[in-house]
Structures are given as structure tokens and as C-alpha cells.
Amino acid sequence: MNVFMKLAGATALATLVSFAAQAQDAKPNDGLNAALWYQTSVEYKTTAKSVYAGAQRLLGAAIGDHSWTAALEQGDNYMSKSPAIVLDVDETVLDNSAYQSWVVTADSSYSSKTWAEFVNTEMSTPTPGALELTKAAAAKGVAVYYVTNRKAPEEAATIANLKKYGFPYADADHVMVRGEKKEWGSDKGTRRDAVAADHRIIMMFGDNFGDFVDDMGGDVKGRIAKMDEYSDYWGERWFMLPNPTYGSWESAAFGDNWKLSPEERRQMKTDALNDWDGPK
Ligand SMILES: [Mg+2]
């Protein structure tokens, strides 16, 4: 073995040792695939685009049919009211996947402090199809309301972020944040009520069941039953965007009990899987 071969061998060994060390350092994070899919996949982008495109094709019919309403809060005497659509913000019209990706790479977790800091960067981008749909609606005389669980101190940055990309109706009257009025809690029904008072809500958009109903049915089974109750709404008046990175679907698996340890929550999520017994 000449000196060069020895050196090459030593380098290879050093590389292997360094790889092994890295593998030990890198903690697996349950959010990796979800963030990767959300941020890089054609499959996510085309799904979101398809949801919005489907809604856009129905806009004319929804505007023209004065009995058409999408809100359970609509009440009576709504047929002569002017049309509006209601959209959630996070992961519905704005893509915050940079935050979720930071959670993965920093091996961190969501906190209201880091989230507020991220919101203030105003670096979120439009989800695929959201701008086209909201602009098409506005052009047809439909008012656009953004009903978000971002908090009151985050309203200005949210409006600025929406404005940056030309979202219509991005102003303090149409961006309805949590806590802006005392009856506006994290449940969105009271805000839908407020929009429905003056408008016929023709379509709603979200990435979370709570963007459509306050009563989400509780546990996983209850949620699915609740979803079935409204089977006529989905894809016609209610439009759900995919979000595998977080949401009430996740916490439903551990009884919405965030006081449990990460290990306990993870165990309950694993237990919620309907898995094959495996090979014999
Ligand atoms: Mg959302």
C-alpha cells in the first residue's frame, strides 16, 4: 500500500466516522415528511390548485342562485344580501411552510413566541390558486373575508403580507383576527355570524375542520361522522386545502390534550393507526 492509498483509506474512514456521528446527532422529527411534501411536492401544489380551480368554476352559479349559502350561521332572509366568501389564512391563503420547516430543522416545536416573530417577517407566500380565486371573486363583486386565528397584535403584519401579493380586500375590516372583539374566540362561528349579518356567504375555504364548523365532533370517529353530516357541502360550498403539517386532525388522536408529554402524544397517535398485523 503506497502512501496515497493509505491517505485515501484514512480519509474514507474519517468520512464514515463523521457520517455515523451525524446520524447519531440527527434526531428524527415526525414533521419532516409533511413539511417536505408541503414545500417541495408537485403533488401538494396541484392539489391546492385543483381545489381553488374547482371553486372558481362554481363562482358564477353560486352568485346567480340566491338561495345558495355556505354558512350554517346564515339564518333567514339572506337571499337579497350581497355575496361574500370566507377564507382562513394560514395554510389556506398563506403558505407558512418556512416556519414548519424551521420547526423540523431546529428540532423545535410550535410556540406562540416564535410564531409571532415569524408572522412579523411577512415572508409567507400565497398558496397555489388562492390569489386567482380571490381575485376572480372580487372581480365578480363578491366580498372577501379572511377569518384567521392569528391574534390581534398580528393583524397589521397579516394585512401587509396579504397586500404584498395583491390579495383583494386585505384591510382591517376584512381581516378578522382572534380576539379583535371579545366574542371572537378561537371558534370561528361568531365571526361567520358577523359576516353573515350583511352578506350571503357563498363559499368557505380552510385547511382545518374548524374553518367550517365550531362543533368538529370530538375524537377521530366523531369527526368523521360530522364530516359525513355535511357531505353535500364539500367541493361545492366548502373547500378544504390539504395540510399534513399540523391541525385539529392531529390533536384529535390524543384527545386534544396538549398537557400530555410529547412521548405520550406520540404513543396515542401510533395507537390511532389502523395497521396490518404484518407478514406471517
Ligand atoms: Mg389554517
Q: How far is the CA of 147 from the centre of ligand 1 (A)?
A: 9
The Cβ of residue 21 has, within 10 Å, a number of other Cβ atoms equal to 10
Q: How far is the CA of 63 from the centre of ligand 1 (A)?
A: 25
Domain ranges of the chain: 33-265
| Contact yes or no for 217/223 (Cβ under 8 A) | yes
pLDDT tier at 259, thresholds 50, 70, 90: very high
| pLDDT tens, residue by residue, 103-122 | 999 999 999 999 999 999 99
Q: How far is the CA of 92 from the centre of ligand 1 (A)?
A: 5
The CA distance from 111 to 103, in Å, is: 10
Q: How far is the CA of 88 from the centre of ligand 1 (A)?
A: 6
Residue 17 in this model has a pLDDT that exceeds 90: no
Please tell me the predicted confidence (pLDDT) of residue 10: 55
Q: How does DSSP classify residue 247? A: S
Q: How far is the CA of 268 from the centre of ligand 1 (A)?
A: 24
pLDDT tier at 16, thresholds 50, 70, 90: low
Average pLDDT, the chain: 93
Q: How far is the CA of 220 from the centre of ligand 1 (A)?
A: 19
Q: How far is the CA of 198 from the centre of ligand 1 (A)?
A: 24
Residue with cell 393583524: 155
Q: How far is the CA of 260 from the centre of ligand 1 (A)?
A: 23
Q: How far is the CA of 66 from the centre of ligand 1 (A)?
A: 28
| pLDDT tens, residue by residue, 135-169 | 999 999 999 999 999 999 999 999 999 999 999 99
Q: How far is the CA of 240 from the centre of ligand 1 (A)?
A: 10
The pair phi, psi for residue 161, each rounded to 5°, is -65, -40
Q: Which CATH fold topology does 33-265 show?
A: Rossmann fold (3.40.50)
Q: How far is the CA of 157 from the centre of ligand 1 (A)?
A: 16
pLDDT tier at 29, thresholds 50, 70, 90: confident
| Contact yes or no for 247/80 (Cβ under 8 A) | no
